[in-house]
Amino acid sequence: MSETEAKTNAAAQQGKLYGVSVGPGDPELLTLKAARLIEAADVLAVPDVGRGKGRRSALDIIADHVDATRQEILDCSVPMTRDKAALDAAHKRVADQIAAKLDAGLDVALVTLGDAGIYSSLYYLVDRLRDRGYQVEIVPGVSSFSAASAALAQPLCLGGESLLVVPVATSSSDELDAAVALPGNKVFMKCGRRLSELKSALGRHGQLDGASLAVDLGLPSQRLERDLSQVDNSTGYFSLVLSRGVGGEEDRAGRPEAGAGCEPVGRPEVGADSGSEPGSAGTTEPPAGAGGEPKPGSGPGLEPTRVSEPTPAGKSTPADTARAQVAHEYPFVTHRDCPYFPCHEGVPDQDFNCLFCYCPLYALGPDCGGNYSYNEHGYKDCTACAMPHRGDAGTKLVKLHYPHLAELARRGGSDSSEGAGE
């Protein structure tokens, strides 16, 4: 018998390793395939045997599918540590134990919480055993954030939205802040001990509104909070936050399409002239041509944003703004050289859209939908209104009010002086 034939025969006599995902905690979320393979396995390799500490372990989730009279339970727990040497030694020990069962011709189901492909320690064992030549099959499962999305009746992403998954427990403060600043919707996993820090970062970047919390999914202690801003900072380890980023699907629903009466504005090139006219949408004086004078320094002539300029401490850098301009999927420009920038409070610098500096909705008077007032001279004062400067909210509002704006601008329109009846 050749060496190749001997290896083939040995492999045929070996058992097979199944990496089985069992979901976040609710036994009813176990897939049919997972249940079938667990019931058929000779050995169940399970982490945290006898160490549930008030939470449901993987063994608890699969309990209804275990035959204790026939199946062997193999404890494959590893220490909760970031010591790489200690973890490597533990993974090798457990892999050796599983290999011994496979060599004996036994099929092994290695179970893991959630989905095996998402921050699971299962792959540290699977990779070792696959490298040794053992047959491996992975069974997917319901992830914790998919379950949270369903429990909260809140989509993870819609249309062209992106989704970023962030491991809060192992991220530095700078990494966490950088992740929050990125565009798109986000899942923040295992954030219990750092919930206060995460809430602060979300608030700085204008993403706290609409963020939600899920704790202990599938357990009797399950907790769902749809308004993260109202949640105290004490939650358990198995906590995750869902955040819908600036410019989500509900905002894009109002985005003007080409041919809808206005031309879409292209993204500015980094460091190139944006073509916008800087000024102040929050001025209490009327716009030029309406009986008043523009503010000093407003209007054309100021240079566009330069990436190389220094930025005061605590504010985003011009490079941050340039990257944001490239990343935004809607008409966007930030004019940092404007002496009034930012002319409204409440919008992060990197998301401040100067495209609506001279807001086209001003002409709608009290019908614009913004946070306006009228001063003692009867002029409309938009100082307190940051709405059109927040991401693509201005584009959405123009789309919403476009029929009225078009009628105002139409020659002979019912709202124009030329077309008014006598």
- Give which of 311, 316, 329 is closest to 204, Cα–Cα: 316
Domain ranges of the chain: 16-141, 145-245, 262-422
Mean pLDDT of 105-127: 95
Does the structure show a pLDDT above 80 at 156? yes
8-27 pLDDT, tens per residue?
566 668 999 999 999 998 99
Average pLDDT, the chain: 75
Q: Which of 127-131, 232-236, 249-253, 348-352 has the lowest mean pLDDT?
A: 249-253
Q: How confident is the model at residue 329 (pLDDT cuts 50, 70, 90)?
A: low
Per-residue pLDDT tens over the stretch 23-49: 998 999 999 999 999 999 999 999 876
Rounded CA-CA distance 298/281 in Å is: 11
Residue range 145-245 in CATH 3.40.50.1110: no
Domain 16-141 shares a fold with domain 145-245 = no
DSSP assigned state of 118: T
Q: Which of 106, 118, 116 is nearest to 139 (CA)?
A: 116
Q: Per mean pLDDT, which of 100-109, 356-365, 390-399 is the most reliable?
A: 100-109
Contact 215, 222 (CB under 8 A): yes
pLDDT band for position 372 (50/70/90)? confident
Is residue 131 over pLDDT 60?
A: yes
> Would you say 145 and 217 are in contact if contact means Cβ atoms under 8 Å apart?
no
- Residue 398 has which token pair? 């123009």
- Whole-number pLDDT of residue 104: 96
Helices (H), 238-353: 249-252, 318-327
Report the 10 Å Cβ neighbour count for 145: 24
* Local confidence band at 360 (pLDDT 50, 70, 90 cut-offs): confident
At 48 the pLDDT is 74
Count the Cβ atoms, other than its own, within 10 Å of residue 390: 21
Question: Could you read off the pLDDT of 259-315 as tens digits, one per residue?
Answer: 333 333 333 333 333 333 333 333 334 443 334 433 333 333 333 333 333 344 444
Query: CA distances (Å), 221 to each of 57, 205, 217, 235, 238, in order?
Result: 14, 31, 8, 11, 11
In whole angstroms, what separates CA 96 from the centre of its chain? Answer: 39
pTM here is: 0.58
Element (H, E) at 409: helix 393-409
CATH number of this structure's domain 16-141 = 3.40.1010.10
Provide the percentage of residues in the chain whose pLDDT is more than 90: 40
Average pLDDT score over residue span 126-151: 96
* Lowest mean pLDDT, pick from 116-130, 176-190, 250-264, 330-344: 250-264
